Protein backbone atom coordinates (compact mmCIF):
# COMPACT_ATOMS: atom_id res chain seq x y z
CA UNK A 1 0.00 0.00 0.00
CA UNK A 2 1.25 3.48 -0.85
CA UNK A 3 0.46 6.63 1.03
CA UNK A 4 0.68 10.09 -0.51
CA UNK A 5 0.04 13.23 1.52
CA UNK A 6 -1.17 16.58 0.12
CA UNK A 7 1.12 19.57 0.54
CA UNK A 8 1.11 23.18 -0.63
CA UNK A 9 4.10 24.39 -2.63
CA UNK A 10 5.66 27.38 -0.91
CA UNK A 11 8.63 27.95 -3.25
CA UNK A 12 10.46 26.15 -6.03
CA UNK A 13 14.17 26.09 -6.84
CA UNK A 14 14.89 23.93 -9.88
CA UNK A 15 13.65 20.41 -9.15
CA UNK A 16 13.28 21.03 -5.40
CA UNK A 17 10.37 22.69 -3.66
CA UNK A 18 9.60 23.59 -0.08
CA UNK A 19 6.13 22.36 0.75
CA UNK A 20 3.78 22.85 3.68
CA UNK A 21 1.96 19.77 4.98
CA UNK A 22 0.03 21.94 7.43
CA UNK A 23 0.41 22.64 11.14
CA UNK A 24 3.91 23.99 10.59
CA UNK A 25 5.32 20.87 8.94
CA UNK A 26 7.61 22.07 6.13
CA UNK A 27 9.75 19.77 3.99
CA UNK A 28 11.79 19.80 0.81
CA UNK A 29 10.50 17.53 -1.96
CA UNK A 30 11.48 16.73 -5.52
CA UNK A 31 9.07 18.21 -8.10
CA UNK A 32 10.75 16.88 -11.25
CA UNK A 33 7.81 14.54 -11.98
CA UNK A 34 5.15 17.29 -12.10
CA UNK A 35 4.58 20.71 -13.59
CA UNK A 36 3.56 22.56 -10.44
CA UNK A 37 3.57 26.22 -9.47
CA UNK A 38 3.96 28.02 -6.17
CA UNK A 39 0.63 27.99 -4.33
CA UNK A 40 -0.58 24.74 -5.89
CA UNK A 41 -1.11 21.50 -4.00
CA UNK A 42 0.66 18.27 -4.80
CA UNK A 43 0.50 14.73 -3.51
CA UNK A 44 3.85 13.74 -2.01
CA UNK A 45 5.09 10.15 -1.76
CA UNK A 46 8.58 9.16 -0.64
CA UNK A 47 9.91 12.69 -1.08
CA UNK A 48 8.53 13.19 -4.58
CA UNK A 49 5.55 15.24 -5.72
CA UNK A 50 3.66 12.73 -7.87
CA UNK A 51 0.66 14.75 -9.05
CA UNK A 52 -0.93 18.18 -8.79
CA UNK A 53 -4.34 18.25 -7.09
CA UNK A 54 -6.98 20.87 -6.47
CA UNK A 55 -7.01 22.89 -3.27
CA UNK A 56 -10.46 21.47 -2.47
CA UNK A 57 -9.25 17.86 -2.77
CA UNK A 58 -6.11 18.64 -0.76
CA UNK A 59 -8.06 20.21 2.10
CA UNK A 60 -10.60 17.37 2.17
CA UNK A 61 -7.81 14.77 2.26
CA UNK A 62 -5.92 16.64 5.00
CA UNK A 63 -9.11 16.89 7.06
CA UNK A 64 -9.67 13.13 6.75
CA UNK A 65 -6.03 12.43 7.56
CA UNK A 66 -6.21 14.63 10.69
CA UNK A 67 -9.36 12.76 11.80
CA UNK A 68 -7.52 9.45 11.50
CA UNK A 69 -4.56 10.78 13.50
CA UNK A 70 -6.83 12.16 16.22
CA UNK A 71 -8.72 8.87 16.48
CA UNK A 72 -5.42 7.04 16.91
CA UNK A 73 -4.53 9.19 19.91
CA UNK A 74 -7.63 8.20 21.87
**Domains assigned to the chain:** 5-72 (2.30.30.140)
The mean per-residue pLDDT over the stretch 31-51 comes to 97
Helix (H, G, I), strand (E, B) or coil at 68: helix
Residue 63's φ and ψ, nearest 5 degrees, are: -65, -45
**Mean of all residue pLDDT scores within the chain:** 93
Determine the straight-line distance between the first and last CA of the chain, rounded to whole angstroms: 25
Per-residue model confidence (pLDDT) at position 53: 98
Say if CB 10 and CB 17 are below 8 A apart. yes
Chain centroid to Cα 43, Å, comes to 5
Say if CB 48 and CB 33 are below 8 A apart. yes
pTM (whole model) above 0.85 = yes
Amino acid sequence: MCLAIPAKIMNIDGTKANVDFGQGVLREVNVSLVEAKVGEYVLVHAGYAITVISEEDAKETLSLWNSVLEAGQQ
